[in-house]
Amino acid sequence: MPTPLPAALNGERTVFQSAGHDLNLYMAGQGPALLLVHSVNAAASAAEVRPLHEHFQRTRTVFSIDLPGYGFSDRSDRDYTPRVMTDALHAAVALIRERMGPAPIDALAVSLSCEFLARAATEAPTHFRSLALVSPTGLGRKDQRRGPPGSTLAMPWLLAVLRGPGWGGALFRALTRPGVVRFFLNKTWGSRNIDERMWAYAVVSAQQPGAEHAPLRFIGGGLFSRDIQTVYERLTPPVWVAHGVRGDFTDYGQKALLTERPNGQCSVFQTGAMPYFEQPQAFCDQYQAFLDGV
C-alpha cells in the first residue's frame, strides 16, 4: 500500500469540480486573491509552489491548485489535455470570484502550466489582473508553435505504446523511483542542491493510485499546445516572465513575444527553473514590485 498523501501546503483545503471531476485547492491568508499553478511532470503537485504560498499569504489570500491528475485532485484514467487543464483553471477562478468577489485576480504559473494560464487569460481576460509566467514553455529559439487553434503536440502512436498492456505502469514506476525523481530535479535545478522537502513529497505523490495517467499524456506530448505562441501574442493583461539560467530549462530565445510589449516585463535569476526555491526573497521582491506597478 502506498504511503497516504499528506497535505502539501498549509491552510484550508477546498474540493471543487471541473467537468464532473474533483479538484483540490489550498487556500491561506487574507487580502487580494493570488492563484498559484504548479508545473506538469511525472510527480507534480502544489508542493512545487510552497515558497510562494507561504510568503504571499502574509498579504494575500493565496489559492494553490492541484491540477487534474495530480496531488489530491482526481487522477482517473481519462484524456488529459490542455483543454482539461485550462478548464480547471477557469473553475478555480470561478470559485475564487465566488469567495472573493468579481475583481480580477493575479495569477502565477510554472513551466508548462504557463500555457494553460495564458489560454485561460485569453479566453477570460477580464478575470485576470496580471500574469506571472515562470520558466514558460514554447519560447525556445527553434519552437514553431503556431498551429491550428486548440491543436497539440500529441503523438498518438507514442501514447498507445506508453499505455500498452503493462508498459505504462512499469514505465511510470521506473520514472518515479526516488533516485530517478532526484535525477530529474537535479536537471531542473541545474545542480544537486534541490529542495529535499519537495523531492520527498514528489516521491510519495507519484505512488498514489492513478498517478501515472496525466504524466503519460504529458510524455506523449498531449499537454503541449501547438498554437501557444499565437495564444501568448493575444494576451492583454500585464505579464511578468521570470526564468533561470541553469539546468535543462534555459532556452527562452523567443521570450520577446511576451516581454517586448507595453505590458511585458522580465526578470532573470542565476538559478534553475524554479528560482523562488533558490532565491525566495529576491524572487518575491521582484514579483511584488511587478504587482505594485500593475
Domain ranges in the chain? 12-293
Per-residue pLDDT of the chain (294 residues; tens, 9 = 90+): 678 999 999 999 999 999 999 999 999 999 999 999 999 999 999 999 999 999 999 999 999 999 999 999 999 999 999 999 999 999 999 999 999 999 999 999 999 999 999 999 999 999 999 999 999 999 999 999 999 999 999 988 877 777 766 666 788 888 899 999 999 999 999 999 999 999 999 999 999 999 999 999 999 999 999 999 999 999 999 999 999 999 999 999 999 999 998 889 999 999 999 999 999 999 999 999 999 999
Q: Select from 166, 90, 74, 157 the least CA-distant residue to 122.
A: 90
pTM beyond 0.85, yes or no:
yes
Domain 12-293 has CATH 3.50.50.60: no
